[in-house]
Chains A and B, each alone.
Chain A
Amino acid sequence: MSAPASLTELWVYLAASPLTALTMTLIAYQCGMWISARAGFSPLANPVLLAVLLLVGLLLVTGTDYRTYFEGAQFVHFLLGPATVALALPLYRQIERVRRSALAITVSLLTGGAVAAATAVAIGAFFGAGPDILASLAPKSVTAAVAMGIADKLGGLPSLTAVLVMITGVIGATLGPLLLTLLGVRDPASRGLAIGTAAHGIGTARALQMSDLEGAFAGLAMGLNALATALLLPLVWGWIF
């Protein structure tokens, strides 16, 4: 291989290697964490949001397309699967708590999951969004992998849903804890359940930072809401539309 003649050629060469996108993703995350720490872990400086903005900026500035980026980033993306499986750990640690509150969890979770989907569609429709946008909005509180499958079933755009899920997670992780404190909800179990139901994995990641208990309930809520929404939403959607 001949040496790259210019900076542009060097970038073209580097951008084609999965190593670059993988490394950039990790660096962007470190930057996000660093900024977040400098901001005193303010919920407004969400490290995921910061990292995504940095990477989007980098892609736009260098003219790299998303598919090229994802070639490398997929190694990180893949780990979402095993990480989801690993949520069994915090869940097991809180098994007694969960068992004692089984009924309360079921009622709160089903109500919250239904409210999340119904309000998203209602508000979207109020502002005049088309049917494909509404179908992409409906599953936005569910973890990305499931939400994309549901959106596809409802006639939405799965890749748009992935983005809406992401934004939902950031909103929930950022403003959720604040809102719950304002409402006087201070017990970690209720806080975790609320954030996990409405803001899936990104909310769970935030809840795990607060306490093991909050994280366990968030992880539980994320899993159960994914299950409930995947089973019920396509049925309800069929009746209404």
Chain B
Amino acid sequence: MLFYLTVILVCQLAGELIVVGLGLPMPGPVIGMILLFAGLVIRGGIPEGLTRVGDAFLSNLSLLFIPAGVGVVLHVGLIAQEARALGAALLGSTLIAIAVTGVLMHLLTRRQRARAGEGRGETGDRS
């Protein structure tokens, strides 16, 4: 367990170093994710200990957004003042983006799905 937690943190740290070193405009953990992914591809599988550590993080992912979200208290005034613009922009653009992305992907992969015969009962994929 502790070994694989170390592996994850090493990937993140390496990601941060690459970002700072190369002056990339993206966050270190995203590069860390790519590094870990590359490691899994090279290794050709996920070690059991890593599954346990990784899934512990992912099954509680929602929790991790709470501290940043509470930061809303810092901007209550500004948000109230711009409520109409912000509300319309957030609601409108999020729904439009979901619709466009989902429908486009759905149309582009339709033939593929038909070929694979996955039209029915394609939900119970939980591991």
Contact = CB atoms under 8 A, between A and B. Distances in A.
Contact of A190 (B62, B65, B106): B106
A181 to B, nearest CB: 10
Contact of B86 (A25, A48, A133, A176): A133
A125 B30 CA distance: 31
A82 B40 contact: no
A199 B41 CA distance: 27
Contacts of A49: 69
Given A119-B92, A190-B102, A212 B73 contact: no
Interface stretch (A9-17, A37-45, A158-166): A158-166
Contacts of B93: 115-117, 119-120, 123, 140-141
Contacts of A19: none
Given A164-B86, A193-B105, A85 B64 contact: no
Contact of B57 (A28, A82, A230): A82
A127 B84 contact: yes
Interface string A193-226: 1110111011011101011111100000101001
Interface residues of A, number: 120
Contacts of B22: none
Given A85-B36, A119-B93, A163-B72, A195 B65 contact: no
A169 B68 CA distance: 12
Nearest to B102: A194
A20 interface: no
B66 A111 contact: no
Interface residues of B, number: 82
B25 A153 contact: yes
Interface string A164-177: 11111101100110
B57 to A, nearest CB: 4
Contacts of A83: 57-58, 61, 64
B67 A76 contact: yes
A172 B59 CA distance: 19
B101 A197 contact: yes
A183 B99 contact: yes
B54 A89 contact: yes
B66 A79 contact: no
Contact of A77 (B54, B64, B113, B118): B64
11 contacts: A52-B69, A113-B97, A137-B89, A146-B30, A180-B102, A187-B109, A187-B113, A190-B102, A197-B98, A211-B123, A214-B125
